[in-house]
Each structure stands twice: as C-alpha cells, then as structure tokens.
Amino acid sequence: MPQARTPVSITTPIYYVNDRPHIGHAYTTTLCDVWARAQRLDGRDVFFLTGTDEHGAKVEKSARERGITPQALADENSEEFRKVMALFGLSNDDFIRTTEARHESQVKLFVQRLLVSGDIYLGEFEGWYDEGQEEYVTDTRAKELDYKSPISGKPLVRAKEHNYYFKLSAYASKLEAFFDAHPEFVRPLGRFNEVRGRLREGLQDVPVTRTNFSWGIGMPGAPEHVIYVWIDALFNYATALGLAEPSGAVARARGKYWPPEYHVIGKEILWFHAVVWPAMLMALEIPMPKCVYAHSFWISNGQKMSKSLGNFIDLPTIEAYFAKYGLDAWRWYMTTQGPIGTQDADFSPKHFHEIYTAQLVNTFANCASRTSSMIEKYFAGAMPDAETASMPISAAVGASTWSAFTEATAADVQKRYANFELAEAADAALSVIRAVDLLINETQPFKLAKDPANLPQVARILGVCAEGVRIAAVLLLPIMPTKCSEVLAAYGSPMESEMATGGVAEAARWGRLAAGTRISKCAPFMRVDAPAV
C-alpha cells in the first residue's frame, strides 16, 4: 500500500546575488533535491524551497561598481541561479526572491507584529562588527576571534548604531530549554554541541534595521531604517508559505508544509538559523522547524575556496565535469563524498575519477551491463521464468533469502534518506549491487551456461541478478534520476512517475519483474580517461 501523503518540506539557504553560483550552492541544493525526490517516491507530498537573497549593502555596492541599479543586478544574478537549478535537474517547488512583493509585504507584517508585541524596540547599540558578514559578534566571541573576522580574516570594527533591535536576550532560557528537549534540533551532533555551548554564554539583542544603506525593505513606520538583510532573508522560509497572512490563499494551500523537516545550510550560517530564527519564531508563536542541518565545506586541494585564491569550483568547472562524467555522476559524488558531517571535504579531480570508476563504472554499470548481456545471450533478452524469492543468498551478505535481504535493504534505505543520512542511503542501496556481483562471482553463470542441462539453474541466478539490479536502480533514483530511469527502462520496469503512486516499498518488492519481460542491454556509465593531474 502506498504511504499516506504526509506533507513535508525542506529548504536551502537563499543565495546571495552578489556571487556567482558555485559548488557550495550546487551542493546544498543537490542534497535537498535528493531528499525531496526520495520523499516524493515514498508517496509524500513534498515542498522543496530555494531562492535568492537580494538585499543589503553588498548588493548595493556591487551594483554601484557596475553602474547598474541593485534591482538590475539582482534580476541578472537571480536568473543565473535559476538557470543553475535547471542545469542540475533540481526539482525545487518554488524559487523565492527577497525582492518579490509577496516576500516584502509579509516581512513588513511580521516585523509589525514584533513591534506590537514589544519584541522589536528602538535602541542604541555599540559592539564589534564583522563588515564582510554584516554581522555583530558578542564581546566574548570577538575576544576569542582575536578581533578578526573568522571568514575574511579582516579586523572587526567597533560600531555604534541607533537601530531597531530584536529582544534576543529575552529568549535565552527558552532557547536553552528548547535545545535540551530537542537534541535533534541541530545536526550533526557536533554542531548541536557548539550552539548549545554558545547559548550558555548568554545572548545579546540583535539589530533588525540599518541606516547605512538603502537597498532593502523599509521599516514599517520608519522608512529611513532598512530591515537588516539577515532578518529579511530568514523570513523567506515563512513568506514562501504565506504564513504572515494565515487566512490568505497561499497559507491555505501551503500552510500544511510548516514546520519544515529540514533547513539545510552551511556551517557558517548556523547561529542565525539555530538561534536568531527560532527566537523570532517563538516571538511570533510559530512552531519550530524540526531540524537545522548544518553541513561543512567543500575545500579545494586542502585550502578554503576563496575568490582571492581563485580556487573556487565554479560553474564552468562543474559543467566540464558534466560533459565528461555526466550529471548523475556529479550528483553521486556530491551525495556520497561531500562534507555532510562535521569535517570539510576536499574536492579533487583524482578522487572524483576514482569514485566514478570504482562505484559507478565497475560496480553499478558493470553489474547492470553483464546481467543484461547474459540474459540477452542465454535467454534471448527475456526475463527468465524461475522461482527466485526463496533463493538462498551468500553467507557474506547476512540474510536468509534474496527477497528478505532486498526488503530489509529497501526499508533501511528509505529510512536513511528520510533521516538525511544520504551517503548511508547510497551505500545501502549499492549493497544490493555488491550482493549481485558476489552471486555472479560465486556461481559463475557464464561457465554453467556452457552445459544446457544447467540452464534452469542459470535462469534462477540471472533472475535474481535482474531483480537485484532493478531494485537497486529503484533505490538509487533520488540520487541518479536519469541513469536509474535508463536502467529501469532497459529492465522493462516502471518509471519514477509511475512509482510515485505506488511508493518505493511496492516498487522495490521482490518479484515484480515478470517472466518474459524484455530486458535490453544497458551500460549506464562508461569508462573515461583519468584526469591529467
């Protein structure tokens, strides 16, 4: 039976339009895409949100340097991000821009509500300011950082402002209690501990407006104050669902997607997402997101990627990988080798090539290809007619029968996808292919087939292999939608769209591949030359 279509949602950060899209943006969005696809295939009603962050002093400055308006710069670069989504086959359900009227009007409503409740007030503030990040840091933190920005390395400056503030300090104990009750609120655990530790140091109120630039949303009732870009940006998660107008059409259609299962972000913006945003939600009496997942960074040849070092894996570089290895190989590498935990991951062309060759060419493609070739050769390309469900499996796999093994694996893979353990989900799915390879190596059907008397046994072995390849392709669809659809088509099996109604459990059920089904030769990944370096 398909699962109930429980509404779930996931978000990426909204990306700054003063930057060109690069591997970091592609990475976070791809992870969310894998999760979203897996949930859709599991019969869930999914809302996957991404977009662009378009206000602030940096955009204003870049536009001035280019002699264009900030809106023109935002339009141009936001379009670039949108194109990237299409290029990467990303299945986002909406793309929100902070310069859109639907966002601006709701931000004003939210801020108005916070003014009325007294959570936002007019005050004066002096503190240590990180100009590059457009962010104040506490005195304790400034000292720890040796008064330098942890991102740019530039000195922090002492700044004084007459501004509107959000009473973050009033939420310190509530936040601590919330964290203690929800140890899964921030993941991975190392990041949870980091934030929990910093919460003990106490909280300062945060400015929600600025007067030193004008490219932003005006403060209701005080338009000389512009809403600080971070406050403006965080609200995107709520404005996309229309939450500021609970009885409006958007909220009626999309309100069911709140709270999100995951806000997926990079580690550098964790504080805003795990502390400032939750406190604002508490003040607005909006339920908390279920988890803020902060991954680490891609680095390049052991060094932080930066504009000054010129070592960013930028769009043209990524496109060269697509041309050589294909989009799905790129998605595989992002999902299985990326910095999803607390460690940064080094992007190296050599490692990319090794993973591609070992896991996709030699394992996935080779298995799909040799199984289909043998079926072609010995059974004229038709799924053999043989009982396979009770076929014993190699002791090395650790299950009783093939059907028991794949059923348990499919359940495990789905659970891991849902739990954002994406690399583990990929590995568990690939374990079906490894088990098929083991069966081929242990039984050597190509040798058995030399004696016609062995054909019933060969039929049983290849029947198992074909079913195994098909199930692995079903389980890997969220990561490699194109290649897995190709394999499924070659194995005469349902496509992604058909599966969405039946759910993965049904699609991955052993024995769906009926005897006589046409199986054509396929080789989803081809060997390519190693990189020069």
Q: Which residues bind ligand ME8 (CB under 6 A)?
A: 13-16, 19, 24-25, 27-28, 53, 233-234, 236, 265-266, 268-269, 297-298, 305
Instruction: Give Rg (Cα) of the chain.
Output: 26
Question: In the complex, which residue's CB is closest to ligand ME8?
Answer: 24
Q: Would you say 192 or 402 has its CB closer to ligand ME8?
A: 192
Q: Would you say 26 or 507 has its CB closer to ligand ME8?
A: 26
Q: Would you say 8 or 26 has its CB closer to ligand ME8?
A: 26
Minimum distance between the CB of residue 98 and ligand ME8, rounded to whole angstroms?
9
Q: Is the peptide bond before 456 cis (omega within 30 degrees of 0)?
A: no
Q: Would you say 128 or 293 has its CB closer to ligand ME8?
A: 293
Q: Would you say 73 or 477 has its CB closer to ligand ME8?
A: 73
Minimal CA–CA distance to 528: which of 352, 373, 371?
Answer: 352
Minimum distance between the CB of residue 470 and ligand ME8, rounded to whole angstroms?
34
Residue length, the chain? 533
Both tokens of 152, joined, read 């740019």
- Pairwise CA distance, residues 226 & 209, whole Å: 5
Minimum distance between the CB of residue 16 and ligand ME8, rounded to whole angstroms?
4
Measured at the alpha carbon of residue 388, what is the angle toward residues 386 and 389, in degrees to the nearest 5?
140
Q: Would you say 37 or 58 has its CB closer to ligand ME8?
A: 58
- Pairwise CA distance, residues 402 & 391, whole Å: 6
Q: How many CB atoms lie within 10 A of CB 249?
A: 9
Minimum distance between the CB of residue 385 and ligand ME8, rounded to whole angstroms?
50
Minimum distance between the CB of residue 295 and ligand ME8, rounded to whole angstroms?
6
- Pairwise CA distance, residues 199 & 170, whole Å: 12
Both tokens of 440, joined, read 């081929």
Minimum distance between the CB of residue 53 and ligand ME8, rounded to whole angstroms?
3
Minimum distance between the CB of residue 357 and ligand ME8, rounded to whole angstroms?
24
Minimum distance between the CB of residue 412 and ligand ME8, rounded to whole angstroms?
27
Contacts of 159 (CB under 8 A, 6+ apart): 126, 127, 128, 129, 136
Minimum distance between the CB of residue 77 and ligand ME8, rounded to whole angstroms?
10
> Could you tell me if 237 and 49 are in contact, meaning their C-beta atoms sit under 8 angstroms apart?
yes
Strand order in the sheet with 262-266: 94-97, 45-53, 7-16, 262-266, 292-295, 186-187
Q: Would you say 40 or 263 has its CB closer to ligand ME8?
A: 263
Instruction: State which amino acid sits at residue 372.
Output: S
- Pairwise CA distance, residues 60 & 19, whole Å: 13
Phi, psi of 89 (to 5 degrees): 65, 35
Residue at token pair 């007619």: 385
Helix (H, G, I), strand (E, B) or coil at 334: helix
> Could you tell me if 266 and 297 are in contact, meaning their C-beta atoms sit under 8 angstroms apart?
yes
Q: Would you say 264 or 375 has its CB closer to ligand ME8?
A: 264
Q: Would you say 19 or 424 has its CB closer to ligand ME8?
A: 19
